[in-house]
Structure 1
Amino acid sequence: MQSRGRHHRTAFLVLMRTAWIAVCAAVLVVSGFAWSTVSTISSGVERSYAIPDDAPRSESGRNILIMGLTTRLDLHGEPLPDDVLRRMQAGESDRGGYNANTLILLHIPVSGPAVAMSVPRDNLVPLSSGGEGKIKEAYGRAKVAEEERLQAAGTHDKRTLERAGREAGRRAQVQTVSTFLNQPIDHLVEISLIGFFHIAEGLGGVDVCLKNATKDPLSGADFPAGPQHLDAGQALSFVRQRHGLPGGDLDRTRRQQAFLASVARRLKGADITVVQAMIDTAKQDVVLDAGFDLTEFARNLPTEVRFDTLPVEGGAHIGGQDVNKVDPAKVREKVNELATAPPPPPPDDGVPCID
């Protein structure tokens, strides 16, 4: 299948919208804000130990796995406030589970442009816990298994179970993606659904452009054709929509990329007070691995980055589910190709229209 991509300049800005906290660090650096401000980003952010100190490391740069979860709960497993759920237009707090519906491998080479590779969420792959499943399911399956193990051993504190379960989910998701792509994972960034909402809300919405009008009651999407400004709730519907799109879930990946590009455009030149407010909000939505040094990360970002989507072979219906069939050898070949490709041409300054 032909891979879909979008080229965007300014590495830190590109991964910013997806990796939020990392984004903020990059924005401050490129904008010329004080390093003392950059260093404050790490304080108060939830940290994970899912990547052990002795884990294999990339020799050609750094690989950062960005995971976007479907859960409507906060980092402690508590329901979001009713007014927030209403504005998100994403259903009740018990919906979504813990699937990693957004998976992006950000490769930052020793030199040259960075590349953000979207991994389609419905790829049928071997899971680290055993057996096959959709790649997005590694997190949720491991979380449930760990919580059941702890409960059987006598642990019943809700927050303890949530913390341990999510750590098991992160480990499983990292291991599953690493094995599938045959790439070590150096760092992870986890952001839940509310994080996407807070990003758009903090920016006062995002600008997008659609080639065709679209409507999908399941996601709340209802957009005319042409350029338009979306508020936070509409932006979340925009990145969640897959029904009614020609390419289904793969087209949703393009929408996530368009959302990120729009965030980058709006953050460029943003006032420091706006950025600081968004940083403070983001801290409640993001998890970083314990070894992720944001100051060092921001200092060494490349000046160019591009987006692409890793290939699938086609669809199949297995076990009552629609899945993507993949050829691991072709996927790994594509990963290596993208990691060593020449810099992309400079992008247009306008908002590109997508399907």
Structure 2
Amino acid sequence: MGARGGEDEASGRLSLFEDDPTGGPDGDEGEGAGAGGEVRRRRRARRLLVWASAVLLFLLGGGVTAVYWTANHFADSVERIPNAFPTVADSAQPKAVANAGQTFLLIGLDARSDTATTGGSAKAPAWKEGAQRSDTMMLMHIAADRKSVAVVSIARDTWVDVPGHGKAKINAAYSWGGPALAVQTVQNVTGIRVDHLAVIDWNGFRALTDAVGGVDITIPQTIEAKDDARQWDKGTHHMDGAEALLYVRERHGLPNGDLDRTKRQQNFLRALMNQTMDSGTLGSPSRLTGLLRSVGDVVSVDDRLSNTDLYDLAWSMRGLRADGVRFMNAPFGGFGDEQGQSVVYLDGRAAGLLWEAIRNDRMDEYLAQHGTSSDTLGESVR
């Protein structure tokens, strides 16, 4: 279904792609007053609401919808990834559950594979065989009623079966077979059908963080320097893009290594989401423009997501609030050693309950029972 200009009185939709038919870009024909002026004010207010919804979903899912600010230009700047899904028979993949929301697989990279010497860019190919392993994997489940979102990190050292390769760390799947093998591996581990994919370049988040004026992140206790890891002093830090990037990349100085690192990544995304929703960002054309211009350097998405699909998803989530977004790690089952490698094991029973809740869109019930577990992101993050 294509986007339409102006507001559809029957559906209540408002297009961001075309000018309002009553006049200029905001439907203005002059100063105007009375009923006409009130209609224009409502339209501008709703357009701002769409912007806010789109930016929020961008922060949750790697940038896919924030591009719908005013025109297709921003959407077109987001690279599409071809062949992002496994080609195995549909019967060999988890069965899709009707009316159970949407699930995205988010894959984070430190830098794009063919631009290591220049710092990485989302304009480079999303995958080059054997070039790199994924740094981050997150499942983002958007509830069918669009009132809540669950973001679950899977530690990159998680020991799993990688189709065609045997047992390995889960991040090896991306290196060996790109997005399609990563999707297939995650689907096999979780039993959840992945609807869409987003590949995030963590390096690109520097510009994104600077575009919103930086983020406030609190370190609950001082973490001493260790090896090449810097010291993090206790207290609230206002981080620019460069410092935020150090924050999300750190793991050697953290007590639980990669598990603490995934919590830092989630904590950063939460802080960035809150900062973006702040009126100082949404009310500043220069900040909002800078934010949206950075999107194409941060994220690529699968080629099943059209511009209209992204707009429709963003519009459907206009009622989502920050407290409706929950972050957690996949249930931890312990550390181990496999083939000379330090690995992470899932707690099979606890993880099974989580995967079932996502699969059947019952995360509210799951969180009511397990929302205080150590796997759920709290306010205090190392």
TM-score normalised by structure 1 residue count: 0.73
Residue among 291, 295, 299 paired with 2:304: 291
Aligned to 1:300: 316
Q: Could you tell me how far apart the structure 2 residues matched to 1:272 and 1:224 are?
A: 34
**Cα displacement (A) at 1:219:** 6.2
Deviations along 1:294-341, whole A, 9 cap, x unmatched?
A: 111101126122111111211101111110122445323212236413
Deviations along 1:3-56, whole A, 9 cap, x unmatched?
A: xxxxxxx9866653353423625xxxxxxxxx6616443212210121379966
Q: Could you tell me how far apart the structure 2 residues matched to 1:219 and 1:196 are?
A: 22
Aligned to 2:74: 41
Aligned to 1:164: none
1:56-75 alignment runs, 5 A limit: 57-59=96-98, 60-70=100-110, 72-73=111-112
Q: Could you tell me how far apart the structure 1 residues matched to 2:208 and 2:230 are?
A: 18
Aligned to 2:156: 121
Q: Could you tell me how far apart the structure 1 residues matched to 2:188 and 2:54 are?
A: 27
Residue among 357, 367, 370 paired with 1:337: 357
Aligned to 1:21: 63
**Cα displacement (A) at 1:258:** 1.1
- Are residue 174 (structure 1) and residue 187 (structure 2) matched? no
In structure 2, the CA distance between the partners of 1:38 and 1:313, relative to structure 1 (3 Å rule), is farther
1:229-308 alignment runs, 5 A limit: 229-268=238-277, 269=279, 270=281, 271-292=284-305, 293-301=309-317, 303=320, 304-308=324-328
Contact 1:65 1:104 in 2 (8 A): yes
Read off the aligned partner of 2:77 and give its amino acid letter: G
Contact 1:210 1:226 in 2 (8 A): yes
In structure 2, the CA distance between the partners of 1:248 and 1:52, relative to structure 1 (3 Å rule), is closer
Aligned to 1:319: 339
Percent identical residues: 26
Residue among 93, 108, 130 paired with 2:142: 108
In structure 2, the CA distance between the partners of 1:218 and 1:135, relative to structure 1 (3 Å rule), is farther
- Are residue 78 (structure 1) and residue 115 (structure 2) matched? yes
Contact 2:81 2:303 in 1 (8 A): yes
Q: Could you tell me how far apart the structure 1 residues matched to 2:242 and 2:229 are?
A: 9
Contact 2:107 2:200 in 1 (8 A): yes
Read off the aligned partner of 1:334 and give its amino acid letter: L
Q: Could you tell me how far apart the structure 2 residues matched to 1:219 and 1:183 are?
A: 38
In structure 2, the CA distance between the partners of 1:177 and 1:52, relative to structure 1 (3 Å rule), is closer
In structure 2, the CA distance between the partners of 1:179 and 1:12, relative to structure 1 (3 Å rule), is farther
- Structure with greater contact order relative to length (CA < 8 Å, sep ≥ 6): 1
In structure 2, the CA distance between the partners of 1:306 and 1:185, relative to structure 1 (3 Å rule), is same
Aligned to 2:35: none
TM-score normalised by structure 2 residue count: 0.68
In structure 2, the CA distance between the partners of 1:194 and 1:37, relative to structure 1 (3 Å rule), is same
Q: Could you tell me how far apart the structure 2 residues matched to 1:342 and 1:323 are?
A: 30
**Cα displacement (A) at 1:133:** 0.7
Deviations along 1:225-249, whole A, 9 cap, x unmatched?
A: 0111112111111111112222221
Residue among 187, 205, 208 paired with 1:196: 205
**Cα displacement (A) at 1:98:** 1.9
Larger Rg: 2
Q: What do you get for the CA RMSD once the two structures are aligned?
A: 2.9
Contact 2:62 2:106 in 1 (8 A): no
In structure 2, the CA distance between the partners of 1:264 and 1:52, relative to structure 1 (3 Å rule), is same
Aligned to 1:130: 165
Contact 1:219 1:237 in 2 (8 A): no
In structure 2, the CA distance between the partners of 1:14 and 1:129, relative to structure 1 (3 Å rule), is farther
- Are residue 51 (structure 1) and residue 71 (structure 2) matched? no
Contact 2:74 2:292 in 1 (8 A): yes
Contact 1:16 1:22 in 2 (8 A): yes
Structure 2's unaligned 5+ residue stretches are: 1-51, 121-129, 369-377
Deviations along 1:134-190, whole A, 9 cap, x unmatched?
A: 111111122xxxxxxxxxxxxxxxxxxxxxxxxxx0111111111111001110110
When structure 1 is superposed on structure 2, of 14-23 and 245-254 the one drifting more is 14-23
SS at match of 1:354: coil
SS at match of 1:37: coil
In structure 2, the CA distance between the partners of 1:354 and 1:326, relative to structure 1 (3 Å rule), is closer
Q: Could you tell me how far apart the structure 1 residues matched to 2:131 and 2:209 are?
A: 22
SS at match of 1:284: coil
Contact 1:58 1:186 in 2 (8 A): no
SS at match of 1:126: strand
